[in-house]
């Protein structure tokens, strides 16, 4: 446990504690991960678009099962030679300008979107749905190059987009992405001009953002190794402690010995499933990291995704705060099916002062796991 520098009690009035706030984008309910894998066998697949086609679209085709993308259900899709697929009704616009902010054919999923054409001779876009009901997989495969007839050295870039029934997982698998041309590509998915996830390849791992778009991915500079797999997994159950604070007006979080201290905390639902009747509590540790107090277990209901619930707990008794020093409050929910425990707990220091004591300046610390 880390503490800040000691400062004189006279300086308390100058302390300004900034509450921790979070911002949320629509696709923050998806977890992005990079791993490796193998290509799905496309033997027996259907041809959507053949070789050497520029700015072409085809569809709509059946996904083969209901697919939930950002809280909407889709059963059909359209493909473009420029490397993207659109869920839902067919569109005739091929949209070679790879920018979510100016795109209009939503929702869109793209493993590699640029101004492309299917490869001459043996290029294609193919698709198939395989598997047993309840666990079927739609695979769409592109074999493409840069659009210009002068760009004969580019590609062939071969990659798959895979949609999974039931789990609604999305995967991008890269079969072969030769670094033989300066591309300006986009990777990611979007449901509108303001709601998207943008992926940037990198070493050792790619990154995904819901706040910064990249539309200039150059695989000569940041190669995508054959066998790379990007996975987007929808988070169904994820509760996070958003913030914790003490009595209003006590900006320094400091109390005299034997004084009670009132704690409030806020819980937010970051998952897709509604969350109600959730146990919520806090623990107090002294400066020896010994548990000295546990609050009552409140029952709170943040509700739907991004809903919040705030609770003011019973005061920490003055008998707990009978020794001067630094104490730590850890507030957390109890959610056995939570998929991301790293954001469950928020921590805040407070200070018990004796007559001649000094106070430690509280520094903001990263959230930790459940105690």
The pLDDT, as a whole number, for residue 103 is 77
**Residue 195 has what DSSP assignment?**
S
* Residues 60 and 178 placed together within one structural domain of the fold: yes
* Residues 341 and 317 placed together within one structural domain of the fold: yes
Does residue 370 belong to any structural domain of this protein? Answer: no
* Residues 162 and 299 placed together within one structural domain of the fold: no
Instruction: Tell me if 107 sits within 8 A of 69, measured CB to CB.
Output: yes
* Residues 157 and 259 placed together within one structural domain of the fold: no
Does residue 232 belong to any structural domain of this protein? Answer: no
Does residue 339 belong to any structural domain of this protein? Answer: yes
The pLDDT, as a whole number, for residue 194 is 84
Does residue 306 belong to any structural domain of this protein? Answer: yes
* Residues 201 and 332 placed together within one structural domain of the fold: no
pLDDT tens-digit map of 272-320 = 889 999 999 999 999 899 999 999 999 999 999 889 999 999 999 999 9
Residue 30 pairs with which residues in a beta bridge?
Answer: 234
pLDDT tens-digit map of 164-174 = 999 999 999 99
Split at pLDDT 50, 70, 90, the class of 204 is: confident
Helix (H, G, I), strand (E, B) or coil at 12: helix
- pTM (two decimals): 0.67
Statement: residue 126 has pLDDT above 50 = yes
* Residues 52 and 169 placed together within one structural domain of the fold: yes
Does residue 344 belong to any structural domain of this protein? Answer: yes
- Which range, 23-32, 66-75, 312-321, 330-339, is most confident? 312-321
Alpha carbon separation from 274 to 29, 62, 238, 306, 347 (Å, rounded): 13, 30, 10, 9, 25
Give the number of domains in the chain: 2
Peptide bond connecting 204 to the previous residue in cis, omega within 30 degrees of 0: yes
Q: Which residue in this structure is represented by tokens 């920018």? A: 99
The pLDDT, as a whole number, for residue 371 is 40
Q: How far apart are CA 14 and CA 197, in angstroms?
A: 41
The pLDDT, as a whole number, for residue 248 is 76
Mean pLDDT of 120-147: 95
Q: How far apart are CA 204 and CA 224, in angstroms?
A: 11
Split at pLDDT 50, 70, 90, the class of 228 is: very high
> Given 226, 247, 267, which residue is the final one in a domain?
226
Which is it for strands 30-36 and 228-234: parallel, antiparallel or unpaired? antiparallel
Q: How far apart are CA 74 and CA 170, in angstroms?
A: 14
Statement: residue 83 has pLDDT above 70 = yes
First to last CA, the chain: 13
Q: How far apart are CA 270 and CA 235, in angstroms?
A: 8
* Residues 244 and 320 placed together within one structural domain of the fold: yes
Does residue 175 belong to any structural domain of this protein? Answer: yes
Statement: residue 197 has pLDDT above 70 = yes
Mean pLDDT of 218-242: 91
Does residue 121 belong to any structural domain of this protein? Answer: yes
Does residue 369 belong to any structural domain of this protein? Answer: no
Mean pLDDT of 143-172: 87
Statement: residue 149 has pLDDT above 70 = no
> Given 167, 200, 226, which residue is the final one in a domain?
226
* Residues 46 and 192 placed together within one structural domain of the fold: yes
* Residues 257 and 209 placed together within one structural domain of the fold: no
* Residues 207 and 168 placed together within one structural domain of the fold: yes
Task: Report the 10 Å Cβ neighbour count for 320.
Answer: 17
Split at pLDDT 50, 70, 90, the class of 244 is: very high
* Residues 322 and 251 placed together within one structural domain of the fold: yes
> Given 196, 226, 256, which residue is the final one in a domain?
226
The pLDDT, as a whole number, for residue 355 is 64
Domain holding 310: CATH number?
2.60.40.1930
* Residues 160 and 296 placed together within one structural domain of the fold: no
Domain range for 286 is 6-24+237-360
Mention every residue, 6+ apart, whose C-beta is less than 8 A from residue 355: none
Split at pLDDT 50, 70, 90, the class of 219 is: confident
Instruction: Tell me if 50 sits within 8 A of 125, measured CB to CB.
Output: no
């Amino acid at each position: 446990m880390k503490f800040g520098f000691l400062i004189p009690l006279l300086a308390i009035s100058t302390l300004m504690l900034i509450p921790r706030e979070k911002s949320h984008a629509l696709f923050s309910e998806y977890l992005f991960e990079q791993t490796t894998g193998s290509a799905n066998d496309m033997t027996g697949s259907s041809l959507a678009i053949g070789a050497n086609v520029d700015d072409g679209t085809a569809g709509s085709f059946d996904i083969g099962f209901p697919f939930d993308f950002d809280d909407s259900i889709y059963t059909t899709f359209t493909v473009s030679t420029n490397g993207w697929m659109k869920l839902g009704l067919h569109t005739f616009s091929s949209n070679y300008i790879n920018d979510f902010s100016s795109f209009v054919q939503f929702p869109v999923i793209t493993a590699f979107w640029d101004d492309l054409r299917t490869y001459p001779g043996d290029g294609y876009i193919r698709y198939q749905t395989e598997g047993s009901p309840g666990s079927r997989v739609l695979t769409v495969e592109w074999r493409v190059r840069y659009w210009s007839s002068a760009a004969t050295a580019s590609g062939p870039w071969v990659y798959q987009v895979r949609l999974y029934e039931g789990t609604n997982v999305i995967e991008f698998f890269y079969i072969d992405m030769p670094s033989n041309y300066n591309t300006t590509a986009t990777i990611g998915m979007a449901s509108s001009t303001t709601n998207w996830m943008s992926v940037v390849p990198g070493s050792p791992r790619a990154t995904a953002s819901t706040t910064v778009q990249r539309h200039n991915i150059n695989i000569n500079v940041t190669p995508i190794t054959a066998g790379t797999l990007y996975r987007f997994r929808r988070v169904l159950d994820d509760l996070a402690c958003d913030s914790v604070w003490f009595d209003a007006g006590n900006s320094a979080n400091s109390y005299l010995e034997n004084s009670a201290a009132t704690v409030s905390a806020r819980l937010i639902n970051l998952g897709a499933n509604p969350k109600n009747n959730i146990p919520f509590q806090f623990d107090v540790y002294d400066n020896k990291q010994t548990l000295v107090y546990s609050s009552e277990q409140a029952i709170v209901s943040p509700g739907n995704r991004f809903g919040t619930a705030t609770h003011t707990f019973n005061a920490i008794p003055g008998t707990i705060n009978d020794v001067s020093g630094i104490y730590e409050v850890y507030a957390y929910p109890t959610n056995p099916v939570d998929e991301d425990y790293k954001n469950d707990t928020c921590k805040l220091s407070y200070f018990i002062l004796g007559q001649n004591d000094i106070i430690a300046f509280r520094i903001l610390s990263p959230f930790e796991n459940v105690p």
